């Protein structure tokens, strides 16, 4: 019988996940379908239990439910430490996972950039930064968190066990760094003229990874190009966090390029 999958969020109408996963299912000839469901916070537990009761193959959880979903699953140790779930599998139990950090690692890896022992400046201290920080710390990256609100950088750094700094310290920090990650919403549509760093503080030995994917070419990525740094855009993370969810649910190797093509088509 056909297996159903879904993503729960609010709002959800612009989610690219249905296109990405349906393209993957179709490529591998799997009798599966993926839909987006708008779920209010008060209904989240019922929706997850309902999906389990109806034999869903798995779920993704997106904004604003990733933190709340933790309570309604048995999270794996990474999801528990991050404090958020973006993927649920149903094998005798409601298991919570978080593939966002692995998605970020894979985005770098496919560009030939390893994270073990690398000096990473992570801008941001919200949900995305949190997922990246815990995963990257586990993989042996040396992380400094910089955030507009310094108290949040300090709190996240304490949880992860890494360093923190103010956004005004970026210039000095970047001199000795291998990777800059923008995990803030700076530069996202419609504020496309904003950037956390300009060309003059970037350098050719740096990889600049922007998790923002709308627009595809952010101002930060443009500045990175001008500085001779290696630019990596946010689509890669979006695709790889989905690919890792697909791997958890199906046990199969995800067709990453098919998924990327579907996302790029969805972004127009």
How far is Cα 48 from Cα 114, in angstroms, rounded to an integer? 36
Annotated ligand binding at 73? The verdict is no
Q: Does 214 bind ligand ATR (CB under 6 A)?
A: no
Annotated ligand binding at 62? The verdict is yes
**Strand 58-61 with 87-90, pairing:** antiparallel
Count of residues that interact with ligand ATR, criterion CB under 6 A: 14
Tokens of 65: 């439910």
Q: Which of 66, 68, 116, 158 is catalytic?
A: 66
How far is Cα 88 from Cα 96, in angstroms, rounded to an integer? 5
Answer for which of 8, 125, 180, 237 binds ligand ATR (CB under 6 A) is: 125
Annotated ligand binding at 126? The verdict is yes
Q: How far is the CB of 86 from ligand ATR (least distance, A)?
A: 11
Q: Does 124 bind ligand ATR (CB under 6 A)?
A: yes
Tell whether omega for the bond before 128 is within 30 degrees of 0, i.e. cis.
no
Q: How far is the CB of 118 from ligand ATR (least distance, A)?
A: 21
Q: Does 180 bind ligand ATR (CB under 6 A)?
A: no
Residue closest to ligand ATR when measured from CB atoms? 126
Nearer residue to ligand ATR within complex by CB, 32 or 61:
61
3 is catalytic: no
Annotated ligand binding at 17? The verdict is yes
From 7-15, 41-49, 88-96, 125-133, give the range in contact with ligand ATR by CB under 6 A: 125-133
Answer for which of 41, 74, 117, 149 binds ligand ATR (CB under 6 A) is: 149
For residue 155, is it left (φ>0), alpha (ψ between -120 and 50) or beta? alpha
Q: Are 103 and 130 in contact (CB under 8 A)?
A: no
Q: Please identify every residue annotated as catalytic.
A: 66
- Name the residues that contact ligand ATR, by CB under 6 A: 124-129, 147-149, 152, 183-186
């Amino acid at each position: 019988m056909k297996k159903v999958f879904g993503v729960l969020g609010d709002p959800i109408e612009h989610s690219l996940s249905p296109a990405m996963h349906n393209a993957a299912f179709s490529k591998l000839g799997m009798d599966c379908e993926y839909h987006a469901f708008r779920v209010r916070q008060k209904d989240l537990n019922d929706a997850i239990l309902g999906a389990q009761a109806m034999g869903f193959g798995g779920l993704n959880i997106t904004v604003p439910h990733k933190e709340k979903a933790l309570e309604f699953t048995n999270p794996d140790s990474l999801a528990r430490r991050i404090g958020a779930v973006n993927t649920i599998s149903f094998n005798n139990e409601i298991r919570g996972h978080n593939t966002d950090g692995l998605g970020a690692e894979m985005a770098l890896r496919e560009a030939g950039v390893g994270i073990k022992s690398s000096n990473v400046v992570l801008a941001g201290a919200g949900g995305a930064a949190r997922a990246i920080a815990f995963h990257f710390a586990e993989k042996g990256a040396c992380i400094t968190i910089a955030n507009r609100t310094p108290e949040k950088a300090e709190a996240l750094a304490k949880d992860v066990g890494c360093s923190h700094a103010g956004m005004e310290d970026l210039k000095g920090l970047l001199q000795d760094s291998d990777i800059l990650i923008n995990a803030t919403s700076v530069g996202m549509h419609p504020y496309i003229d904003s950037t956390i760093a300009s060309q003059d503080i970037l350098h050719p030995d740096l990889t600049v990874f922007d998790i923002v994917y709308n627009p595809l070419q952010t101002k930060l990525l443009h500045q990175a190009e001008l500085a001779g740094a290696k630019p990596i855009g946010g689509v890669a993370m979006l695709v790889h966090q989905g690919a890792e969810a697909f791997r958890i649910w199906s046990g199969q190797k995800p067709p990453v390029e098919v998924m990327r093509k579907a996302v790029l088509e969805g972004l127009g």
